[in-house]
Amino acid sequence: MIFVSVGSMLPFERLVQAMDAWAGAHPDTKVVIQYGNGAYKPQHAQGFAMIPAAEYRRLVADAQLFVAHAGMGSIITAIQAGKPLLMLPRLQTLGEHNTDHQLATVKNVGNRPGLYSAADEVELVATIDRLLAAGAAIPAPISPHASPELIANIRGFIHGKKVA
Protein backbone atom coordinates (compact mmCIF):
# COMPACT_ATOMS: atom_id res chain seq x y z
CA MET A 1 0.00 0.00 0.00
CA ILE A 2 1.15 3.51 -0.81
CA PHE A 3 -0.19 6.32 1.38
CA VAL A 4 -0.32 9.81 -0.09
CA SER A 5 -0.98 13.02 1.85
CA VAL A 6 -1.19 16.67 0.80
CA GLY A 7 -1.14 17.72 4.46
CA SER A 8 -4.03 19.26 6.33
CA MET A 9 -4.19 22.88 5.23
CA LEU A 10 -4.04 23.60 1.49
CA PRO A 11 -5.06 21.71 -1.68
CA PHE A 12 -2.29 20.20 -3.83
CA GLU A 13 -3.94 19.01 -7.06
CA ARG A 14 -0.65 18.27 -8.86
CA LEU A 15 0.27 15.58 -6.33
CA VAL A 16 -3.24 14.10 -6.10
CA GLN A 17 -3.68 13.86 -9.88
CA ALA A 18 -0.21 12.39 -10.45
CA MET A 19 -0.74 9.74 -7.76
CA ASP A 20 -4.28 8.97 -8.91
CA ALA A 21 -2.95 8.41 -12.44
CA TRP A 22 -0.22 6.19 -10.99
CA ALA A 23 -2.87 4.21 -9.10
CA GLY A 24 -4.83 3.78 -12.37
CA ALA A 25 -1.73 2.40 -14.09
CA HIS A 26 -0.91 0.05 -11.15
CA PRO A 27 -4.18 -1.65 -10.18
CA ASP A 28 -2.32 -4.30 -8.13
CA THR A 29 -1.00 -1.72 -5.65
CA LYS A 30 -3.43 -0.15 -3.19
CA VAL A 31 -3.13 3.63 -3.04
CA VAL A 32 -4.80 5.72 -0.32
CA ILE A 33 -4.83 9.52 -0.70
CA GLN A 34 -5.65 12.23 1.86
CA TYR A 35 -6.51 14.99 -0.62
CA GLY A 36 -7.49 17.76 1.80
CA ASN A 37 -9.40 20.75 0.44
CA GLY A 38 -8.73 19.90 -3.21
CA ALA A 39 -11.52 19.91 -5.80
CA TYR A 40 -10.17 16.85 -7.67
CA LYS A 41 -11.45 13.59 -6.15
CA PRO A 42 -9.32 10.49 -6.81
CA GLN A 43 -10.85 8.17 -9.43
CA HIS A 44 -8.54 5.16 -9.07
CA ALA A 45 -7.04 5.53 -5.60
CA GLN A 46 -9.05 5.41 -2.39
CA GLY A 47 -9.53 9.06 -1.40
CA PHE A 48 -10.34 10.80 1.88
CA ALA A 49 -10.55 14.57 2.38
CA MET A 50 -9.22 14.40 5.95
CA ILE A 51 -8.12 11.39 8.00
CA PRO A 52 -8.14 11.62 11.83
CA ALA A 53 -4.69 11.69 13.44
CA ALA A 54 -4.60 8.12 14.83
CA GLU A 55 -5.81 6.57 11.56
CA TYR A 56 -3.36 8.75 9.62
CA ARG A 57 -0.43 7.46 11.68
CA ARG A 58 -1.65 3.86 11.20
CA LEU A 59 -1.73 4.36 7.41
CA VAL A 60 1.83 5.73 7.44
CA ALA A 61 2.94 2.76 9.57
CA ASP A 62 1.24 0.24 7.23
CA ALA A 63 2.45 1.81 3.96
CA GLN A 64 5.47 0.47 2.09
CA LEU A 65 6.04 4.02 0.84
CA PHE A 66 4.69 7.38 2.05
CA VAL A 67 4.31 10.08 -0.61
CA ALA A 68 3.54 13.66 0.48
CA HIS A 69 4.11 17.38 0.09
CA ALA A 70 7.31 18.63 1.75
CA GLY A 71 5.52 19.63 4.96
CA MET A 72 7.06 19.13 8.40
CA GLY A 73 4.03 17.16 9.65
CA SER A 74 4.57 14.57 6.92
CA ILE A 75 8.35 14.54 7.39
CA ILE A 76 8.28 14.14 11.18
CA THR A 77 5.52 11.51 10.97
CA ALA A 78 7.58 9.51 8.43
CA ILE A 79 10.76 9.70 10.54
CA GLN A 80 8.92 8.74 13.74
CA ALA A 81 7.30 5.79 11.94
CA GLY A 82 10.56 4.72 10.28
CA LYS A 83 8.95 4.86 6.82
CA PRO A 84 10.57 6.06 3.59
CA LEU A 85 9.06 9.34 2.41
CA LEU A 86 8.98 10.68 -1.13
CA MET A 87 8.24 14.43 -1.24
CA LEU A 88 6.92 16.70 -3.98
CA PRO A 89 7.48 20.28 -2.78
CA ARG A 90 4.69 22.83 -3.22
CA LEU A 91 5.63 25.74 -5.47
CA GLN A 92 4.65 29.36 -4.89
CA THR A 93 4.62 30.07 -8.65
CA LEU A 94 1.83 27.48 -9.10
CA GLY A 95 -0.17 28.93 -6.19
CA GLU A 96 0.43 25.82 -4.08
CA HIS A 97 1.70 27.73 -1.03
CA ASN A 98 2.33 31.30 0.15
CA THR A 99 6.11 30.93 -0.13
CA ASP A 100 8.68 28.52 -1.56
CA HIS A 101 9.73 27.31 1.90
CA GLN A 102 9.05 23.69 0.89
CA LEU A 103 11.92 23.91 -1.60
CA ALA A 104 14.11 25.07 1.29
CA THR A 105 12.78 22.20 3.44
CA VAL A 106 13.74 19.64 0.78
CA LYS A 107 17.22 21.17 0.61
CA ASN A 108 17.82 21.56 4.35
CA VAL A 109 15.86 18.71 5.96
CA GLY A 110 15.43 16.30 3.04
CA ASN A 111 19.03 15.09 3.13
CA ARG A 112 18.30 12.64 5.96
CA PRO A 113 18.37 8.93 5.05
CA GLY A 114 14.99 7.56 3.99
CA LEU A 115 13.79 10.95 2.70
CA TYR A 116 13.51 11.37 -1.08
CA SER A 117 12.23 14.20 -3.22
CA ALA A 118 11.15 14.84 -6.78
CA ALA A 119 11.29 18.13 -8.67
CA ASP A 120 8.10 17.48 -10.63
CA GLU A 121 5.40 14.89 -11.32
CA VAL A 122 7.45 13.03 -13.97
CA GLU A 123 10.36 12.57 -11.59
CA LEU A 124 7.90 11.64 -8.83
CA VAL A 125 6.48 8.72 -10.79
CA ALA A 126 9.93 7.57 -11.94
CA THR A 127 11.19 7.68 -8.33
CA ILE A 128 8.25 5.63 -7.05
CA ASP A 129 8.96 2.91 -9.61
CA ARG A 130 12.66 2.96 -8.72
CA LEU A 131 12.04 2.83 -4.94
CA LEU A 132 9.49 0.02 -5.22
CA ALA A 133 11.84 -2.01 -7.46
CA ALA A 134 15.10 -1.43 -5.57
CA GLY A 135 13.81 -0.85 -2.03
CA ALA A 136 14.00 2.45 -0.16
CA ALA A 137 16.19 3.37 2.80
CA ILE A 138 14.47 3.74 6.17
CA PRO A 139 14.83 6.92 8.26
CA ALA A 140 17.08 6.52 11.30
CA PRO A 141 15.06 6.33 14.54
CA ILE A 142 14.80 9.53 16.57
CA SER A 143 13.67 10.43 20.08
CA PRO A 144 9.94 11.17 20.38
CA HIS A 145 10.85 14.62 21.72
CA ALA A 146 12.77 17.71 20.65
CA SER A 147 16.48 18.12 21.44
CA PRO A 148 17.25 18.18 25.21
CA GLU A 149 18.78 21.63 24.67
CA LEU A 150 15.52 23.06 23.28
CA ILE A 151 13.41 21.37 25.98
CA ALA A 152 15.66 22.76 28.75
CA ASN A 153 15.61 26.27 27.30
CA ILE A 154 11.82 26.34 26.97
CA ARG A 155 11.45 24.93 30.48
CA GLY A 156 13.66 27.79 31.67
CA PHE A 157 11.48 30.34 29.85
CA ILE A 158 8.31 28.91 31.36
CA HIS A 159 9.70 29.22 34.87
CA GLY A 160 11.04 32.72 34.29
CA LYS A 161 14.76 32.03 33.97
CA LYS A 162 16.98 33.99 31.64
CA VAL A 163 18.57 31.92 28.90
CA ALA A 164 22.29 32.53 28.45
Partner 1 sequence: MPAQKPVRLLAIASGGGHWVQLLRLRPAWEGCAVSYASVHASSADDVPGCPYYDFTDASRRSLWRFPVVALQMLWLLLRVRPQVIVTTGAMPPLIALVLGRLFGARTLWVDSIANSERLSGSGDIARRFAHQVITQWPDLAQGNDPAYWGSVL
Cα dihedral 123, 129, 135, 137, rounded to 10, equals: 20
Q: What is the CB neighbour count within 10 angstroms for residue 50?
A: 10
Other CB atoms within a 10 A radius of the CB of residue 52 amount to 9
- Residues 144-163 as x/- pattern, contact with partner 1 by CB under 8 A: xxxxxxxxxxxx-xxxx--x
61: contact with partner 1 by CB under 8 A: no
Alpha carbon distance 109, 69 (integer Å): 13
Q: What part of residues 16-45 is at the interface with partner 1 (CB under 8 A)?
A: none
Rounded to a whole number of angstroms, the minimum distance from the CB of residue 123 to partner 1 is 22
Q: Is 159 helix (H, G, I), strand (E, B) or coil?
A: coil
Among 1, 49, 94, 104, binds partner 1 (CB under 8 A): 104
List residues near partner 1 by CB under 8 A: 7-10, 50, 52-54, 71-77, 79, 98-99, 101-102, 104-105, 107-109, 142, 144-155, 157-160, 163
